Structure 1
Amino acid sequence: MLGTEDVKDYLNNSLRELRLPTVKACYEQQAHRARKESLSYERYLAELVELECQERLHRRIERFLRDSRLPLEKDLNSFEMKRLPSRVAANVNALLDGSFLGRAENVLAFGNPGSGKTHLLCAIGQELIYKGYRVRFTPCSLLVQELLLAKQNLRLPRTLKKLSKYDALIIDDIGYVEQNREEMEVLFILLADRYERGSVMITSNLPFSKWERIFKDPMTTAAAIDRLVHHSIILEMNLPSYRLEQSKKSKKH
C-alpha cells in the first residue's frame, strides 16, 4: 500500500502526464477543505474538475485574444452605446450572444469617419471571444496584401484555409485605401470563400452605391454585394465624428 508521500508523488506525476496542471496545483488544498467541510468524494472531484475547466477556458480566451489582433482598448466599456440610434443598439445587443456566427451571417457597419464603426465591431469581437468564438481583426489594406502575396507564392488556398478557422473575420475600412484590380480580385475570392461558411464583419465609409470604386467593375461589385448582403445585419452609423466631439470638449476645458 502506498504511503502518503508515495501517493502525492504518484498523483503529481500522473496529473502532469495527464496534463491537468490546475488539478495538480489545487488537489491538496481542496482535499483539506473537503475534509474540513465533510464534502463527498463526488463533490470534491467535481470542484477540482470545475477549477481545471475554468483555468483552461481562461487560457483559451487569452490565446484567442492574442491571436485576434484586436486593439483591446476598443471594448464595450469604452464605447458610448448611448450615441447609437435605438435600432442599431438593439441589433448590437442581439449580436453579442454570437448566434449569428452559427448562421454565417455578416455584419456590415457603414458610417462617416470617426462615427465609431471600428470601435464597435472590435468591441463586439472581444465579447464573442469571451464566449469562446475565434475572431480575427485586420485592416482591409493589410488583408489584401496578405492575400496577394499568398497568391503570388501559390499559397492562396492554404491562406484561405487558415482564415477559415475563424468564426468571424473583421475587415476594417474596406474602400478607404484605393486598391488595384488584382488586389480587389483576391478580396473577392476571400468573400466568395466565406459565403455561407463563415461570418465577415466589415466597416466602410462608402455606401454600396459607391462600391464600384472598390471592385472596379459592375459585375464583380454586384456579386460581392450580393454575397455580403444575402445573410447580413447592417448597422447604419451616420453619426457625428466621435473624435471631433471629444476634441471640441477638450478645447472647452
Structure 2
Amino acid sequence: MAAIFAEVALRAAKEHLTHEAYLWELATHERDLRIQRRTTRLLRASGLPAEKTFRTLDLGKLPSAIQVQMARLKSGTFLEIATNVVAIGKPGVGKSHALAAVGHELVTQGHPVLWLPTSTLVQRLLAAKRDLRLPQELAKLDKFACVILDDLGYIQQDRDEMEVLFTFFSERYERKSIMLSTNLVFSEWERIFKHPMTALAAIDRIVHHSVILDMMEVESYRATEATIFQQAQETNAETASLK
C-alpha cells in the first residue's frame, strides 16, 4: 500500500472516487500482491516440474471418465477430506503430467504441495531414521497439504526402506492427501513391500479414501511420437531414393 497510495489517490481524485472506493483499491492491490507472492513462494518450495501444467496437458488423449475426474481434482476439494489420488498406467501415458497439473492448480489456490520422486522420499526418510530424527522429518512433511510421489513402481526396497515408506503412508492416513503415480497395479505392490500383509496394509491406507486414475489402456504418447518420427524418416528416405 505504501508503494502505491499516492498514485491511487491521484487516480481516485480524477475519477471522483469515494474514500471507501479509494481504500478498496488499496486493499485489493495489497491482496493481489500477497496472493502473487504466496503463489511464487509455494511454487518454489513445491519442486513441481514447471512445464507440466493443465495448459500443456492434452486432456483429449485421456478417456472421458478420467477427464471428468481431472476436472473435479482441479477444484482441490479432495484435500478437505484427505482423499488420495493414484494414477496407474504404463510408462509414457501422462501419469506424472496429470498429477503435476493438479499440483500446480493446488498451489494457485494457496495449498502447500511437495513433488518428489518416490525414491528420493524414501532415501530422505531413511537418512532421518538413521539420524534418529524420523519424527521431525515426518513433521516437516506434514506441513504440506498434499505430497505427490512420482514413479512408485520403480523402487526396489529393502526392509528398512519399505518400513519408512509404510510409516509415511500411515502418518498421513485420513489426515493429509497423497498423490502418487505407479506402473504397477495393486496386485503387484508386493514387489515393493516384499510381504503380502504389508502390501495389503499399504494399499488399504492409500485406497480407503481415494480417486483412481486408471490409465492402463491409454496409449503411450512417447511410443506414438516415436512411431510418427520413424514413419517420417522412412518417408524421407523413400523420397530421397526416388530423386
Q: TM-score, normalised by structure 1?
A: 0.90
Counterpart in the other structure of 2:57 = 79
Listed as ranges, the gaps of 5+ residues in structure 2 are 233-243
1:249 counterpart = 2:219: no
Matched, 1:232 2:214: no
Counterpart position of 2:236: none
The 4+ residue runs of structure 1 with deviation greater than 3 A are 250-253
Does residue 159 of structure 2 align to residue 181 of structure 1?
yes
What is the alpha-carbon root mean square deviation over aligned residues?
0.9
**Larger mean Cα displacement after TM superposition, 120-129 or 176-185:** 176-185
Match of 1:114 in 2: 92
Is the aligned partner of 1:45 residue 2:30? no
How far, CA to CA, are the matches of 1:77 and 1:251 in structure 2?
28
Residues 33-74 of structure 1, C-alpha deviations (whole Å, 9 max, x = no match): 011011111110111011011001001000100100011111
Q: CA deviation at 1:251?
A: 3.7
Q: Distance in 1 between matches of 2:155 and 2:162?
A: 11
Cα distance in structure 2, aligned partners of 1:105 and 1:112: 23
2:55 partner amino acid? N
What whole-Å deviation, never above 9, does each CA across 1:85-124 have from its counterpart, x for those lacking one?
Answer: 1111101100111000011000000000111000110011
Q: 1:184 & 1:175 partners in 2: Cα distance? A: 13
Output the amino acid matched with 1:109.
Answer: A
Structure 2: which amino acid aligns with 1:52?
E
Partner residue, 1:65: 43
How far residue 181 of structure 1 moved from its aligned partner, in angstroms, is: 1.3
Q: Secondary structure at the match of 2:2?
A: helix
Length, aligned pairs only: 231
Provide the C-alpha distance between the structure 2 equivalents of 1:226 and 1:61, rounded to a whole number of angstroms: 33
Displacement, 1:127?
A: 0.8
Aligned to 1:54: 32
In structure 1, the partner of 2:241 is: none
Q: After superposition, what is the alpha-carbon deviation per residue over 1:126-147, rounded to whole angstroms, capped at 9, x for unaligned? A: 0111111111000011100000
Identity %: 48
CA displacement, residues 140-196 of structure 1 (integer Å, 9 cap, x when unaligned): 111000000000001110110100111110011112121111101000000000001
